[in-house]
Amino acid sequence: MMVLVQKAEDVYNLSVHEGNKHMTMEVDILELSDRSAKFVLSNTTAAFANGIRRAVLADVPTIAITEVNIYNNTSVLYDEQLGLRLALIPLTSNLEDFVPKDECNCGDFCPACQVSLTLSAEGPRIVYSRDLVSSDDKVQAADPNVPIADLREGQKIVLEAIAQMGYGSKHSRWQAGVACGYKNMPKIEFNGCDQCGACISECPVAIIKMGANGAEVSQEDMLKCTLCRLCEGICDIDAIDIKVDEHSFIFTMESDGSYIMKELVLNAANIIKGKATNLATILSAL
């Protein structure tokens, strides 16, 4: 079972259970922008960390073009190529105003489950994603500078694209997270260091320094460790012990622009929360 509680602008607590053990997960945000984030999840499990990763990639619905009605296309691109390029252009999305088509109660099509985008362009010029005109101001190309086609003199493109909300688990065009991964927090221990310095020159990320009592790694530099274990292998006296914290994870994520990064992660956490609540309801009814 998981509960999400917002504590402050960039700090969150989540309660998770591992067997009979209760843990309050903490999120320490290291870097945060509209398109990327790096943060540390502590006091949690690998299963929950992987659940966040999978939810970001597959469970947070986005809006993407699913159908293209082409009225005129004299560019060098086949209609199918043009449709493919349009389908993979990220569009700004939100869960408050839109729902996936198969979850909408309208019975056909409505503004809550479908958006129309039109394009009319004539060469010579390069057609960009910003040239798409949306029927809803809230749905625009996340990046206005995605090139669609290079039109020569006299070439034209006239079309209408239909965009709907869907899940990345069904097709990559609805995948909001374009890069999402994590690793365990490294733990490096030095015992009986003779200060030979071999590990310092061997470290590929240069995080090992020589301190008063021998080699050491600062807590900040610990985040940069790649767990390559080269320092451990070069030490002749076995003074270095490389371990990982099984309940702490360093996350790096990127968004395609459908959501700003903070919204994407919170949506993923809330989706996991909803699934856990539904499961608890079903089990309690048995």
Per residue, the 3-state secondary structure of the chain, as one string, reads CCEEEECCCCEEEEEEEECCEEEEEEEEEEEECCCEEEEEEECCCHHHHHHHHHHHHHHCCEEEEEEEEEEEECCCCCHHHHHHHHHCCCECCCCCCCCCHHHCCCCCCCCCCCEEEEEEEECCEEEEHHHCEECCCCCCECCCCCEEEEECCCCEEEEEEEEEEECCCCCHHHCCEEEEEEEEEEEEEECCCCCCCHHHHHCCCCCCEEECCEEECCHHHHCCCCCCCHHHHHCCCCCEEEEEEEEEEEEEEEECCCCCHHHHHHHHHHHHHHHHHHHHHHHHCC
Residue 8's pLDDT band (boundaries 50, 70, 90)? very low
Q: What is the pLDDT of residue 97?
A: 87
First and final C-alpha spacing in the chain: 17
Q: What is the pLDDT of residue 11?
A: 43
Alpha-carbon gap, residue 33 to 12, rounded angstroms? 17
pLDDT tens digits for range 220-259? 899 999 999 999 999 999 999 999 999 999 999 999 999 9
- Model pTM greater than 0.95? no
CA angle 29, 31, 33 (to 5 degrees): 115
Q: What is the pLDDT of residue 263?
A: 94
User: In the predicted model, what is the mean pLDDT of residues 66-87?
Assistant: 96
Q: What is the pLDDT of residue 16?
A: 53
pLDDT tens digits for range 135-186? 999 999 999 999 999 999 999 999 999 999 999 999 999 999 988 999 999 9
Q: Residue 56 in contact with residue 177, Cβ under 8 Å?
A: yes
With pLDDT > 70 as the criterion, what percentage of the chain qualifies? 92
Residue 4's pLDDT band (boundaries 50, 70, 90)? very low
Domains of the chain, start order: 3-60+177-278 (3.30.1360.10), 62-174 (2.170.120.12)
Residue 108's pLDDT band (boundaries 50, 70, 90)? confident
pLDDT at 30 > cutoff 90: yes
Q: What is the pLDDT of residue 103?
A: 86
Q: Which amino acid is at 133?
A: V
Q: Which residue has the higher pLDDT, 112 or 38?
A: 38
Residue 10's pLDDT band (boundaries 50, 70, 90)? very low
Q: What is the pLDDT of residue 51?
A: 93
With pLDDT > 90 as the criterion, what percentage of the chain qualifies? 76
Averaged pLDDT of the chain: 89
User: In the predicted model, what is the mean pLDDT of residues 9-35?
Assistant: 70
